[in-house]
Structure 1
Amino acid sequence: MANMNTTFVLLLNLLYLLLITESISLEAVPSNSIAVNANVSCIEIERVALQKFRKCLKDPFNRLSSWVGQDCCNWEGIGCSNQTSNVVKLDLGSSNLCGFEGGSQYTPDQPSCLSGKLDPSLQNLKYLSYLNLSNINFQGVSFPYFLGSLKKLTFLDLSFTMFSGVVSPSLGNLTNLSYLNLIPSPFSDRTLSVSNIYWLTNLSSLQYLNLQNIDLSKAETHWLQVVNMLPSLSELYLSSCGLHHLPQTLPFVNFTSLSVLDLSNNGFNSSSIPPWLFNLTALINLRINLCDLKGSIPNIARASLCNLKNLDMSFNFNISGPITEFIQALSGCGNHRLEQVNLGSNQLSGVLPHSLGYFTHLRELHLTNNSFSGPIPSIIQHLSRLEILDLSYNLMNGTIPVFIGQLIELSTLDLFSNSWEGTMTETHFLNLKKLTWFSLSSTRKSLVLNVTHDWTPPFSLQNVLIKDCQLGPAFPAWLKTQKNLLGISLVNSSISAKIPNWLWNLSSLLLHLDLSHNQLKGDLPKSSSIVWVDLSHNNLTGSLPLWPSVSYLSLRKNLLSGPLPVNIFQRSIPTCLGNLAGLKSLVEYSTSPIRSLLLPLTYSEHMDLTAKGAQREYYSQIFLMNSIDLSRNNLTGEIPEALTKLSLLFTLNLSWNQLTGKIPENIGVLHGLETLDLSCNHLSGPIPPSMSSLTFLSHLNLSYNNLSGPIPSANQFQTFIDPSIYEGNPKLCGPPLITNCSLLPSDGDTEAVDEDEDSEEFRSEKLWFYVSVVLGFIVGFWIVCGSLVIKKSWRHAYFNFVDEKKDRLFVAIKVNMARLQGKIEA
C-alpha cells in the first residue's frame, strides 16, 4: 500500500512538472521572456534547423554574419525562452521592398534584403511563437504547407515574400494566432490566392488579418460569414482582393471589436452601401473607396460611430444624394473624433451641412468632384485644425468667405472649378502661413484676385493653380517671393504684360509652368531649366528658344516667326531630335486643342491631347505619355531619321506643315506608335514597308502629300480601309484606292522620277528638251519651205499638185451632193 502511495505521489509530481513546462512554452513571445543574454544556450536540434534555413538564403550584405557558433540564442533575429532555451522568436523581417521576380535587387541603402528558398527545417522549431519573414524574396515558390505545424505561433508575418499559388489551409491549425499578414509582393507577376477561407474560423484569437491583394474571388460568397465568426478581430484588410459580392444584410454582428475595416478597390458590382457597416460601433478607420458602390448613404442611428476617425468613400462615382442626415448622425457624439473625411469623386449633392462645423478635430475634408452647391458655410471657420480643404470640381457658388484666412493650420486650399464670384484680397490669406497648395478657378470667370503690387504673402507655396480668374493685367509680382515653387499655372487669367525675367530663375525646384490663354507679350529667354512649359494662346514674339531641359513644350497660337532651328533644344526636329530618348511630349506652337491642368509630383494630372484623329482626355501620370505634336505650323525640311530613335513615342503629329522628302525608311522601329498623322505636307516617295510592323498603330493619316507607289497590304495596313487616309496622293495605288498599280509607272520609275524632280540635273534636261523641240520645228519648217522658195520648178510642181487635189475634191463633193439630193426628191 505504501508503495502504491509513493508511486501516486511521484506521478503527481511528474504531472505538475509537465504542466509547468507547458505553461512556460505558451508565454507571450514579445514580453521579457525572450532571452537577451549569453547565459541561455539554444537547443541543438533547433540550432541545426536554423543553420539549414540559413544555407538556403542569399545574404550579400552579411546581415546574418552573427549566425555562427553553438549558441543560436545570440544570433541576430533569434529569441529564446529564458526558462526552456527553446527558440520562440524568429524575426528577419525588413521594412524594405526587397526584390523582383527571379531574384533580389540589392542597393546600398537596402542592406537587410534576403532571398532564396524557405527550408522546411523550420518546422523543427516546435515552440516558435513569433515568425516574421517579411520582405524576404522567396522567388515565387509555392506557399509553404509546413507552416501549419508551428502550432505555438501567435504572430506570423509573410508580407511581400514573393510566395505564389494557394495559401495553405493548414494555417487553420494555428489556433493561437493573433496576427496574420500575408500581403503578396507587388513585384511578383505570380498571384497568391485562397480557394476557401473556412480555415479562418479556427483562429478565434485572431486580432489582425491582412489579405490585401490576395485573390479571394473563389471565397467571395462566404468571406463575410467567415470573418464575422472572429470575435477578437480588430483590424481587417481586404483591399484589392477581387471581391464582387457585398452582402446587404448580416443577421448578427459578431466581430464587434473591429476598429479597422479596409474593403477598398473591390468591384462590388454597383452594390448599395450595406447598413451593417454602420453597426460596427468600434470602427476607427473605414475604407470603402474604389468599390463601385451606388445609391445614397444609408440612414444611421445618431451617435452610432462615435469612435470613427477616418472615413474614405471616394471614387465610387455613383454614391448620390445629400449628406446632411449622415453628417448630422455622425455629429451626435459628445466627443467628436473624426479627423479625415474623403467623399470625393461621387455624385453627392446639396449644400454643405452646418453640422460639419462640429467636427473640431477634423484635419482633412475631401469633397472634390461631386455636385455640391451653395456657398461655403460659415461654420467651417470653427474647424481650426483643418489642414486640407478640397472643394474642387463642384457646383458651389457665392463669394469666398474672408474667414478662410483664419484657418491657421491650412496647408492645402483647393477651390478649383466652381462658380465663385466677387473678390479675394490679402485678407483671405492673412494667417495662412502653412499654405503650400493653392488652387482656384471660377466657371463664371467673374472672380477677381485683387492684391497690392508690393504684397508679400505669409505663405511659401509649392504649387499654385489659378484659372479663369481676373488676375491681370499686370504679372503678379508676389510670385517673386515664392522660392519653393514646383509648379505655376496661371491660365486664362487676363494677364497682358511681359513675362518678367525673374520668373525663369525663380526656383531651382520649378518643374511646371503654364501661362496659356493670356495676352502675354515679348520674347522668350534663350535658356530655361523648366521641364514642362505651356505658353500657348498668347502674343509672344521672336524665334523658338533653345531649352535643353524641356520635356514638354507648347507654344501654339503665338506670334513666333522664323524657321525651326536646326538645334532646337539641341534635339531639333532636323537631325538631332533623336537625342531626346526620354522625350515625353513636345508640342511646338501647334494650334491643336491641347491643354493641361497639371502640376508636378502631387497633382492629379489632366491633359487633352489631339491623338487618333480626335481630342482625347488623359488622366493619370502625364509624364508617362510620349507624344510629338508639331501640327499647323510652317515647318520646312525633311523628317529626320533621328526621330526614329524615340522608341517610346506613341503619338506623332506633323500635319499641316511644309515638310518635304521621304518618310523615314525605318519608321517601323517605333513599335509603340498608336497615332501617325503626316497629312497636308509635301512628302514624296513610297510608303515605307517597315510601317507594316507598327502593330499598335490605330490612327493613320497620309492624305494630301506627293506619295507614290503601292500602299502596303501586310499586317496593320489591312485595318486601314478608309480611302480618305490616302486621298490627295495621285501617284498612290492599290486598295483601298480604286487606282490600279498596273496603270501607273513601276515603283522604280516612280521613285526615279520623284528623286529627279527636285534635282538640278533634271531641270537642266527639261530645258534642253524644250530647246530641241523648238529647234527641230524651225529646222523642219525651213527645210520644206526654204526649198520651195529657192527651187522654182519644185514650187510650180507643188502648187499644181495642190490645185489638182483641190479640184478633184471639189468635183467629188458636188457629185455626191447631187446624188443625195436626187434620192431625197425621189
Structure 2
Amino acid sequence: MTRKIPVSFGELVSLYAVDLSENMWEGVITEAHLKNLSSLRELSIGQLRPNVSVVFNISSDWMPSFKLVYIKIQACQLGPNFPTWLRNQTELKTIVLNYARITDVIPDWFLNMGLELKELDVAYNQLRGKIPNSLCFSSGSNVDLSSNFFEGPLPLWSTNLTTLYLRDNQFSGPIPSNIGTALPSLTDLDISKNKLNGTIPLSIGNLTELTTLVISNNRLSGNIPQFWENIPMLYILDMSNNSLSGTIPDSIGSILFLKFLILSSNNLSGELPSSLRNCTRLNSLDIGDNQFSGKIPVWIGENMPSLLILRLRNNSFTGNIPSEICRLSQLHILDISKNNLFGFIPPCVGNLSGFQTEFTSDDAARYEGGLRLIAKGRIIQYSSSQLYLVNSIDLSSNDLSGEIPSELASLFRLGTLNLSMNHLGGRIPSAFGKLESLETLDLSKNQLSGPIPTTLVSLTFLNHLNLSYNKLSGKIPSGNQFQTLIDPSIYMGNNALCGFPLLVECDSEIPPLPGQNNGDIDDNNDLEKVWFFSFVGLGFFTGFWAICGSLILKKQWRDAYFQFVERVTARICVYLHIKFSRMGLI
C-alpha cells in the first residue's frame, strides 16, 4: 500500500530518529515536513526499489533546525542539484544519497565542511567532476561512488577505508602504484567499468584483508602478478574485459576461499595451472574468450563440486569433454563452445541436477559484472539481477560427433541448449519434448537426419529455434509454438523437409493413428521389418535344406529326381518342336 507522509509529521519536536525506509511512499516533501524537528539526529527515507515517487521540494536557502549525524535518502528525487540544506550539517557521519537523481558536481562547501565520515554513498546518480583527496574518514569507513560520471585519477583518501566502490565512472590513468600502502585496510575494492590503464600494481599484494577485487572492464595490460599467497581471504576476483596477457600464475591456487574467478575476455594463454585444483570452493570459473590451450582438466569435475558457472568458451581447448564434468551436479551454466573439442557428448550430462533447479538470487548477485551468453540467437548481457533466471548449455562450434544423448531431456529447467556447428548425427531425440522450460534450441549445421519430432510442439516457451543445414526430412510439425516460428531460415539447408513455413508442399500421406507420433510409427515399422526378414530367412533355410538335403543324403531319391527332370525337359522340347513346325518357323 502506498502512503503520503503527512505535513503534521514536522510537528514532532522531540523526535530523535526517523526511519521511513523500505516502504512505498509517494508525494512531495517540503520544509513543512521537517521544520520543527529540532531534536532530529537520524533521518532515513527510502523506497523498496529505484522507482521514484517521492520528490523533495526544498528551497535552496532553507536552513534546518536539526543537526544530523545520519542521513539516508534512497530512490527519491532529491536532485537535480546537490542538496544545499545540508551545508550546516557539520556533525554528519553517514551520508547515503543513492538513486537520488542528482545531476551536479559535489560542491566546494561540502568538501570544506571538515566532516569525518563513517560512510559516503552517492551511487547511482549523475554526479560529475573530479574528486579531491581532501575528504576525511574515520576507522572502518565505507565509500560508494558507483555509477556516476566522476573523472580524473583514482582518489586515495585515507588509510581508514575498508570498502571502496568506484565502478562505472570515468576515472582514468593507472591504478596508483602505492594503493596497497595508501589503503592498507581495504576489504573490498571495485574499480571496474572505468578507463584505467597500465599494469596491475604489485602493492595490491599488501592488501592482506582483501575479500573482493573487481578491476574488470578497463584497459589494463601486462601479466597477472604473483602475489596471491598474500591475500588468503579473497573470494571474488574479477579481472575480465581487459588486455591482460601471459598465463594464470600458480599462486592463484593458494586462495583457498576463492568463490568467483572471472578472467574472461583478455589475451591470456597457456594451460590452466594444476594449483587451481586447490580452489575447491569455486562457484564460478569463467575464463572464456582467451587463448588457453590443452585439455579440459579432469580435476575441474573432481575438485570443484560447488561450481554453478563453468565458462571456457572461445579458447583452444582440445580433446574429449571429460566425463568428470558430470560430477558438477550444481551447474547452471555450462559454456565450452568455440574450442577444438571432439568425440561424443557424455550422456551423463543429463545427470546434472543443477539444470533441474534455479539459481538462488544470492548466488547470482555475487556475479558482480553480469555475464554475456549466447541465447535466443544473439549475445545477451545478463546482469547479476537477471542471472538467477539462466540455465544454459552451449557446446557449439566444436568437432563433436555421434548422436545427441536423449538423457539431456531430463534437464527440465534448461532454458538454452546450443549444439550447433558440430558433426552430430542421428535423429533429434523425441524425448526433447520434455524440456518444458526450453526457450532456445539451436542444432544447426550438423548432420542430423530423420523427421523433426512432433513432441517438440509441446515446448510452449520455445522462442528461438534453428535446425538449418542438416539432413532432416519429412513434414515440419505444426501447432502451439511452432505456429509462431515462421522464419523459413530456421529450416533452410534441409532439402527433404516440407510444409509450413517452407514453400515445399508435402505429398499426401497416411495420417498417424491418434496418440501416435512420427517417432512411434518409425519405431513400429522398424520392428515389423525385423520380424518379416527373420521369418523369410527362416523359411528359406528350412525349405532349402528340406529339399536339397534329402537329395544329397539319398542316392535313390537323387536318381529319381534327375530322371524326372530329364523326362519333363524332353517332353517340353518335343512340344515346342511340333508347335514351331506348324507355324512354319522350322
Q: Normalising to structure 2: TM-score of the pair?
A: 0.73
How far apart are the structure 1 equivalents of 2:491 and 2:403? 21
- For 1:534, which of 306, 311, 323 is the aligned residue? 311
**1:685 and 2:451 matched:** yes
**1:370 and 2:177 matched:** no
1:54-133 paired onto structure 2 within 5 Å = none
Structure 2 counterpart of 1:235:
42
Distance 1:608 1:680, change over 3 A: same
1:611: how far off? Answer: 0.6
Structure 2 counterpart of 1:142:
none
Secondary structure of residue in 2 paired with 1:253: coil
The amino acid across from 1:322 in the alignment is G
Structure 1 counterpart of 2:433:
667
| Contact 1:496–1:519 (Cα < 8 Å) also in 2 | yes
1:496: how far off? Answer: 4.9
- For 2:298, which of 525, 541, 545 is the aligned residue? 525
**1:435 and 2:210 matched:** yes
1:360-759 paired onto structure 2 within 5 Å = 361-376=160-175, 400-402=176-178, 404-405=180-181, 407-414=183-190, 416=192, 418-421=195-198, 424-425=201-202, 428-429=203-204, 431-440=206-215, 444=219, 446-449=221-224, 451=226, 457-463=229-235, 464-467=237-240, 468=242, 472-473=246-247, 476-491=249-264, 496-504=269-277, 506-516=278-288, 517-522=290-295, 524-525=297-298, 527-530=301-304, 531=307, 532-545=309-322, 546-547=324-325, 548-550=327-329, 551=331, 552-567=333-348, 572-573=349-350, 576=351, 580-582=355-357, 602-620=366-384, 622-633=387-398, 634-638=400-404, 640=406, 642-657=407-422, 658-664=424-430, 667=433, 670=436, 672-681=437-446, 682-688=448-454, 691=457, 694=460, 696-705=461-470, 706-709=472-475, 711-714=477-480, 716-729=481-494, 733-740=498-505, 743-748=507-512, 751=518
1:206: how far off? Answer: 1.9
Distance 1:261 1:430, change over 3 A: closer
| Contact 2:411–2:435 (Cα < 8 Å) also in 1 | no
Structure 2 counterpart of 1:340:
142
The amino acid across from 1:736 in the alignment is P
The amino acid across from 1:410 in the alignment is L
How far apart are the structure 2 equivalents of 1:712 and 1:254? 70
Please give the per-residue CA displacement for 1:146-170, whole angstroms capped at 9, x wherever unaligned: xxxxxxxxxxxxxxxxxxxxxxxxx
Moved more, 440-449 or 512-521: 440-449
- For 1:210, which of 19, 32, 36 is the aligned residue? 19
Structure 1 counterpart of 2:152:
350
The amino acid across from 2:167 in the alignment is T
How far apart are the structure 2 equivalents of 1:438 and 1:196? 41
| Contact 1:311–1:342 (Cα < 8 Å) also in 2 | yes
**1:254 and 2:68 matched:** no
Q: RMSD value over aligned CA atoms? A: 4.3
- For 1:226, which of 29, 33, 54 is the aligned residue? 33
Secondary structure of residue in 2 paired with 1:724: helix
The amino acid across from 1:485 in the alignment is L
How far apart are the structure 2 equivalents of 1:251 and 1:415? 36
| Contact 1:692–1:717 (Cα < 8 Å) also in 2 | no
Distance 1:343 1:759, change over 3 A: same
Aligned-pair identity (%): 27
Secondary structure of residue in 2 paired with 1:221: strand
The amino acid across from 2:223 in the alignment is V
Q: Normalising to structure 1: TM-score of the pair?
A: 0.54
Please give the per-residue CA displacement for 1:674-725, whole angstroms capped at 9, x wherever unaligned: 323333442533553663561x4332334345253354244x4443332323
Please give the per-residue CA displacement for 1:602-633, whole angstroms capped at 9, x wherever unaligned: 44142111111100101115454212223234
**1:287 and 2:287 matched:** no
Structure 1: stretches of 5+ with no match in the other structure: 1-191, 377-399, 586-597, 769-786, 798-826
How far apart are the structure 1 equivalents of 2:363 and 2:479? 44
How far apart are the structure 1 equivalents of 2:359 and 2:389? 7
Structure 1 counterpart of 2:547:
none
| Contact 1:711–1:732 (Cα < 8 Å) also in 2 | no
| Contact 2:79–2:102 (Cα < 8 Å) also in 1 | yes
1:563: how far off? Answer: 1.7
Distance 1:538 1:336, change over 3 A: closer
How far apart are the structure 2 equivalents of 1:651 and 1:667? 14
Distance 1:748 1:229, change over 3 A: same
How far apart are the structure 2 equivalents of 1:301 and 1:479? 42
Highest Rg: 1 or 2? Answer: 1
The amino acid across from 2:378 in the alignment is A
| Contact 1:441–1:469 (Cα < 8 Å) also in 2 | no
Secondary structure of residue in 1 paired with 2:251: helix
How far apart are the structure 2 equivalents of 1:680 and 1:522? 25
Distance 1:493 1:686, change over 3 A: closer
Across the two proteins, how many residue pairs are aligned to each other? 519
Distance 1:718 1:202, change over 3 A: farther
| Contact 2:15–2:40 (Cα < 8 Å) also in 1 | yes
How far apart are the structure 2 equivalents of 1:610 and 1:222? 46
How far apart are the structure 1 equivalents of 2:502 and 2:220? 50
How far apart are the structure 1 equivalents of 2:220 and 2:4? 57
How far apart are the structure 2 equivalents of 1:264 and 1:620? 20
The amino acid across from 2:234 in the alignment is Q
Structure 2 counterpart of 1:315:
124
The amino acid across from 2:165 in the alignment is H
1:214: how far off? Answer: 2.2
Q: Which is richer in strand? A: 2
Please give the per-residue CA displacement for 1:5-26, whole angstroms capped at 9, x wherever unaligned: xxxxxxxxxxxxxxxxxxxxxx
| Contact 1:529–1:549 (Cα < 8 Å) also in 2 | no
Please give the per-residue CA displacement for 1:34-86, whole angstroms capped at 9, x wherever unaligned: xxxxxxxxxxxxxxxxxxxxxxxxxxxxxxxxxxxxxxxxxxxxxxxxxxxxx
| Contact 1:236–1:261 (Cα < 8 Å) also in 2 | yes
